[in-house]
Amino acid sequence: MTGAVRLEPVNEQNLEPLLSVAAAEAEPGEVMPPVEAPAGWSLARRDAFREFHRASFAGLTGPTRTQMYAILAGGEVVGMVRMTRRDEPGTVETGMWLGRSARGQGLGVAALRELLNEAAAAGMRTVVAETTPDNIEALKVLGKCGAKLREDGGKVHAEICLDSTPPAL
């Protein structure tokens, strides 16, 4: 789906729209690490969400070695995709989420393809991801983007070699 999505580095301008989508259309566990806070989208968890994203504003060379992108569809923020540098040279790990109403329309594949373009432009050669065997949607998205999948101890490791991935149109 050419042009279905656009990636925009997460910044102070798109952070509140991103939080609104997360709070309205995702579970905390899908979009951020666990924090000590009252259940659900409490004020403390919203603050933690902001700080979690601000910590990566400096991108791949910053302290978290992570570049986060807001996923935009039709000009609206619908989710987030990130890449994090690994110790292996030329390798980043990816992860993503979409708000519930944006799922099941192929936007996940489109966003991951854009992320692969960004990773290649940053000089990366390999993109890896980790998920669980029951996350059918994530496995399908990774498979459609050319990932080799390997199951090991209740986890699925995915590896995408950028040299062999045709560029997204």
Residues that bind ligand COA (CB under 6 A): 30, 95-98, 103-109, 129, 131, 135-138, 140-141
| Minimum CB–partner distance for residue 54 and ligand COA (Å) | 21
Query: Side chain identity at 164, as an amino acid letter?
Result: S
User: DSSP class of residue 19?
Assistant: H
Closer of 63 and 142 to ligand COA (Cβ) = 142
User: DSSP class of residue 99?
Assistant: -
H or E segment to which residue 31 belongs: helix 28-31
| Minimum CB–partner distance for residue 18 and ligand COA (Å) | 13
Closer of 63 and 75 to ligand COA (Cβ) = 75
Walk across the sheet containing 155-161 and list its strands: 6-9, 66-73, 76-85, 91-98, 126-131, 155-161, 148-152
Closer of 109 and 127 to ligand COA (Cβ) = 109
> Is 35 in contact with 45 (CB distance < 8 Å)?
yes
| Minimum CB–partner distance for residue 96 and ligand COA (Å) | 5
| Minimum CB–partner distance for residue 111 and ligand COA (Å) | 7
